[in-house]
Structure formats: structure tokens, C-alpha cells
Structure 1
């Protein structure tokens, strides 16, 4: 089983001390220690406390070893003695899974979320079929990400992603586990995947119609409806399906006239359909809201070029270069406009700049080949 958070908790091995026990050191019913003994982990804080408070012959106990093993397996599930450790755990306590779950809950109640996560990680390593263990692990990951990782957004993403993996694992085992849908909705919302969030919340609501959470989910679905509609619309347009995406976005425009991203994708949809006048109108609306918006300038350049307004096209592409710096795609588009007006000297200069940025750029190479043909034919 793969755990995404392992690199971020590996340093917790510093909380452990390892001892080599001989075969006679510990007596456990239904367990025979290997002839060479066993290399066991102990929590340093617990060992230090035992040294202070217990007799010498009671410092190292089976229970202390159990807690050390659980902690180690939660940090490093591939540790070389893993199989022997697992045998030891179940021999000491046949109900070891319930014990680990109980201890993890205690850690969480004490605000020791990393310790709780480590114990639950060990638990799902031992049993990845128990949906309640998987759920507890996921919830702790979400809570820790929210409460303790706001200043570390990249790490926060990993913890949330791990939670998502295990919540989805729950649904593979029991598709009626409604709370998994509820929390997955929030995880997709964090990623701005609005339609997936809506889908999972609707699924939750189909299982739990008359709960306070169902009422909350209904309000959340209403709140993200416009974002979900926008997502469907722009994804359709990015997929080249302007006929599908434009009606969705135009419906939104009635309620969101100053949403420049929306106006941009409406313009893009019209350009895909060859309706350049409408496209230019929407791209100009974007420029009124977001002056110097680079992608919009490039799109305007393409629209003006397609309608034969080469002067405006050059103006837009040059403005885009001034704002965003030299860029292969913009330089090629500008070169193609110059080719249309037979200004091969300026076209050549643009392509030389583009090749200087990236000699392997295939679009630039194709444009350069076309320019050479035009120049030869003009002689």
C-alpha cells in the first residue's frame, strides 16, 4: 500500500530508540521470537519515563514494544522487520486493531494530530478493508491539513490528496458510506472541481435526505451552481466543443457581466465558431476589465488577422510581446501576419527571435519553412 504523506512524517523516526532483544527477553503467549532475537523500536519519551518510575526489570515491557512498533509501522511500513512485528502485535493483543484505533482517538482528543495520524496509518496498513478505520484516517488527514498546514500549501495538498484516496477506497468497499461522499465534495471544492463536488454532494443527499448535513449540502450545491456551470462551459470550449459550451456561458453572463474569465471564454467560443465580430466584442469587454490581459491580446490579434485587419493584429501581438516578453507562440502569430502582408523582413526577424528562444519549437520551424517558400516564390 502506497502512502503519499510518508516523506513528510519520516523524520518522526527520531522519536524512536531501537534495541536488540534476545530470545528470552520477552515472553508472549502464542509468539516465538526469532532465534537471533528481534530489533525493536521504543518511544523515547515512554522509555525515559519508565526508567524514572519503574523497576529496572520492568522498563522494557511488551506493551511498550507494541506502541513503538505501531509508531514505526505508521512512519515506515516497509521497515525490514515488518512481518515479524505484525505477528508480535497480534500475539500480544488479538484485538490490536481496536487498541490502535482507541489510542489514535485519544491522541486526537489531546490535540496530538500527527501521532494520531501515525497510529491510524499503521492501522490501515494492518487492515485496509475496515471502512471506519479508513474514514478515521481520512478525517484526521483533513483536519490536520486544515488546522496545521495553511502555511505549507504544497504539503497541505498532499495530505488532502491522501485523504481523497482513502475516502474513495471506502466507496470501493461500501458505496453506501454516505459521509465519504460528503467529505469528498469538500476536497473537490478545495481543488475548484465544482462539478465533481456537486456530484458527490448530490450522491450524499441521495443517501441522507433528512439530516442537518443534507440541508447544508443543499445550500452548498446552490452556492457552487454558477461555478459548476462555468466549469462545464469552459471545459467544453477548451475541448473544441463551442456549440456545447457557449450556451452554458451565455446563460451565466446574464448574472455575471463583470466576470472577465467568463467573457474571455465566450469570446474564445465565438472565435472557434468563426464569429469574429462577436469574439472581438467580448475580448474588448475583457480588456475594459483587465487591462493588459495577455491571452486576450493574443486572441484579439488572431481575430483581427482572420478578418483581414492586419494593422490591428500587429498592434495586439506587439502589445502582448511588450507585456509578456518574447514568446514563441506570439512571435509566430506576428510573423504570420507579416507574411500575409508580404513583409518578409519583419516576419523573418520574428521567427529568428522565436528560434533563439527555442530552436526545437515545431510551430516556429513550420512557420520558418513557409516563410522560405514565400520568399523563394516572390523572387
Structure 2
């Protein structure tokens, strides 16, 4: 099973020490043979520090403490070199103690979760889902812990970590419903994931599926409230999906009615403009792009689109003006620089054309459009 968050857990290995068990030593586990070359086994630093006074208790506690640390490091690093050997060790110990390993891992995860030690909680749950990859409850709770840790990283403004933990949570929730299509809480959580990724249609369908399943009344009410509030976002997504797929007229039928209620929603205005552009209605396309620039004068994509429309109208001075504004705002963007270079080229200014097209080529020598522009330029040099 793959994890996006493992790199954030590796620092927890600092909380472990390693001791070597020898094959001919006194340490024995019924049903398990220590490899002839010995085995390096982990133990938590806190266990070593505490020490154990009673010798009889020591033997029992050490066995369990080692097994616990093995579970811990297997949860930290799913590729640790001794994981397979550790699994044999804990299986034999569990059999000898009549210990339910799944229950133990779940108990330890819940214990740490309740006191707010979410990383330790996740480590035990990760060990559980590694060992029992079809356990839907384990996968679900793994996702919940990931979401909780993501909230912590959000407070630290670490967007990369937030994204990694949420994507891992999403992956495990999707695994849950693939294994058990009737796991209502997984659909409930997934609806929020898709919503937060602006996948409103998918979010709506997921929540509608959740309502068919057994959920508490308060969750049902929450989902119904969410569905009511997101109708316009679903309509927006339907509209821009149609526009981007070339069905511009159908897309505008979805998008235009939203403008009255959301006249300052620049994303909506942008997609309406693209819809008109796709229908070759340059006048209306420009009108909507201009509305955006009133709201957001430095919206780069809009400046580029205005430049392209001006070039389409053969107003090359106007195109150059928009492309230059865009290039100042988004420096070293090869696409913008290439557009600017071609505007100069078509306006007869070969020196500036060469400067910008060659710079675009330096930034992205593999781009087909830039290469085509460079070849065209070279014909006149």
C-alpha cells in the first residue's frame, strides 16, 4: 500500500533504540527462531529509561515492549528492512499470549488519539492497515487521523503537508467504499474531500449516495443542507465542463443565469468569456474579460486572453500592451513570452520578437509552439 505521508513520520524513529538479539542467547519466543546472524530489534526510549525492577516481569514486558516497538516502526516505515522478520516475531508472540494484534493496534491508536498525540495514533493505525489492508474500519480511522493532522499543518501554514495528508486520507476513503460500498460514513467524508477540491458534481453524487445508506439523523441533515447550498456550484462546474469540452453554447446556458446572482465572481466571468470566445463572439468575450480586469486588474490569464483577442483582431499594438503587462506580472513564463514575441514579429519588430521568442525557448526548449515560432522567426533572419 502506498502512502504520501511516510516522510513526515520518519523523524519518529528518533524515539527508538535498537538492541541485538542473538540466536544462542537467553531471549526466546515460542514458535519463533531468531536468525542465526542475530536480529536488531527496536525498543522505545521511554521504556529503556524507565527500567524494570522485577526480573520475572522484565522478561514478559521486554517481549511485549519489543513487539510494540516493532509494530511502531512498521507503522513509521513500511519498507523497513526487518519488517518481514518483525512480523514473524509479533505473530509468534501474539499466539503465545493469545493477543489479538488488530485489537491491540486499534487500542494503541485510539489511546494516543484521545490525548491529542495524532502522529503516534496514525503510526499504530498505519501498521494496522499495512497488516490488514482490507479492514475498512482501520482504513476509515486512518483517513480520519490524517484529516486531523492536516488541520494541524494548516495552522502552521504548511500547504504541502496539508495536501499530502488530505490526499492520503482521500485514497484510503476511496479504498473503503471499493471494499464496502455500504460504508456510509466514508461517502460522507469523501463528499467534503471532493467539495474542497472544487469537484462539485462528484461531491454531490457522493453525498447523494451517502443519503441512501444508514447514517445518523444529524449527518443526514448536514448533507442535505450542504446539497442545498451547493446547487449553484454544481451548475457552474457543469457549465465550464461543457465550455472546455467545446460545447460552448450549452455551457453558456448553464453559466449565464448565474451572473445575476454572482456578478463579481471572476471565475464565472472568465468561463463565460471563454464560452463566447469558443463561439467566435469576440465582442462579448472581450466584454467579459474587461469586467474581470475591473475587478482584478492584475489577473494574468485574463490579460493574456485579451492579448490573444486583440491579436485576432489584428490590433497588434493592443496585443503587445496586454502581453507586456502579463509578462511583468508572471515573469519568465515561456508561453506569455512567446505570445509577446509573435506579436512583435507580426508587427514587424524583429529585434524584440527574437529577444522574447529566444528567451521562451531557453525556458522551455521542448515546447512545440515555441519551436514553431522560432523556426518561423529564423526564416526572416
TM-score (norm 2): 0.87
**Cα distance in 1, alignment partners of residues 338 and 57 from structure 2:** 80
Residue number in structure 2 paired with 1:67: 68
Instruction: Report deviation, 1:335.
Output: 5.4
**Cα distance in 2, alignment partners of residues 327 and 157 from structure 1:** 25
**Cα distance in 2, alignment partners of residues 148 and 202 from structure 1:** 30
Residue number in structure 1 paired with 2:180: 174
Residue number in structure 1 paired with 2:118: 113
Matched, 1:18 2:18: yes
Matched, 1:273 2:279: yes
**Of 90, 97, 102, the match for 2:102:** 97
| Kept after mapping to 1: 8 A contact 2:12/2:76 | yes
**Of 343, 352, 358, the match for 2:361:** 358
5+ residue gaps, structure 2, are none
* Farther-moved stretch of structure 1 (287-296 vs 211-220): 287-296
Residue number in structure 1 paired with 2:136: 131
**Of 216, 230, 251, the match for 2:236:** 230
| Kept after mapping to 1: 8 A contact 2:44/2:69 | yes
Instruction: Report deviation, 1:174.
Output: 0.8
Q: How has the CA–CA distance of structure 1 residues 311 and 186 changed in structure 2, closer, same or farther, with 3 Å as cutoff?
A: same
Q: How do residues 18-97 of structure 1 correspond to structure 2 at under 5 angstroms?
A: 18-23=18-23, 24-51=25-52, 53-55=53-55, 58=58, 61-94=62-95, 95-97=100-102
| Kept after mapping to 1: 8 A contact 2:29/2:92 | yes
Structure 2 residue matching 1:93: 3-state secondary structure: helix
Matched, 1:2 2:2: yes
Instruction: Report deviation, 1:273.
Output: 0.8
| Kept after mapping to 2: 8 A contact 1:331/1:350 | no
Structure 2 residue matching 1:34: 3-state secondary structure: coil
* Farther-moved stretch of structure 1 (33-42 vs 124-133): 33-42
Instruction: Report deviation, 1:327.
Output: 5.2
Structure 2 residue matching 1:39: 3-state secondary structure: strand
| Kept after mapping to 1: 8 A contact 2:334/2:359 | no
Residue number in structure 2 paired with 1:162: 168
Residue number in structure 2 paired with 1:188: 194
**Cα distance in 2, alignment partners of residues 326 and 71 from structure 1:** 47
Q: How do residues 201-216 of structure 1 correspond to structure 2 at under 5 angstroms?
A: 201-208=207-214, 211-216=217-222
Instruction: Report deviation, 1:137.
Output: 1.3
Structure 2 residue matching 1:29: 3-state secondary structure: coil
* Farther-moved stretch of structure 1 (78-87 vs 22-31): 22-31
- Paired residues in the alignment total 371
Matched, 1:240 2:246: yes
Instruction: Report deviation, 1:29.
Output: 3.3
RMSD over aligned Cα atoms: 2.7
**Cα distance in 1, alignment partners of residues 332 and 121 from structure 2:** 51
| Kept after mapping to 1: 8 A contact 2:307/2:318 | yes
| Kept after mapping to 1: 8 A contact 2:300/2:326 | yes
Structure 2 residue matching 1:4: 3-state secondary structure: coil
**Of 236, 246, 249, the match for 2:255:** 249
Q: How has the CA–CA distance of structure 1 residues 25 and 170 changed in structure 2, closer, same or farther, with 3 Å as cutoff?
A: farther
Instruction: Report deviation, 1:56.
Output: 8.8
**Cα distance in 2, alignment partners of residues 351 and 336 from structure 1:** 9
5+ residue gaps, structure 1, are none
| Kept after mapping to 2: 8 A contact 1:336/1:347 | no
Instruction: Report deviation, 1:175.
Output: 1.0
Instruction: Report deviation, 1:191.
Output: 2.5
Structure 1 residue matching 2:43: 3-state secondary structure: strand
| Kept after mapping to 1: 8 A contact 2:188/2:210 | yes
TM-score (norm 1): 0.87
Instruction: Report deviation, 1:291.
Output: 1.9
Instruction: Report deviation, 1:145.
Output: 1.4
**Cα distance in 2, alignment partners of residues 323 and 82 from structure 1:** 51
Structure 2 residue matching 1:11: 3-state secondary structure: helix
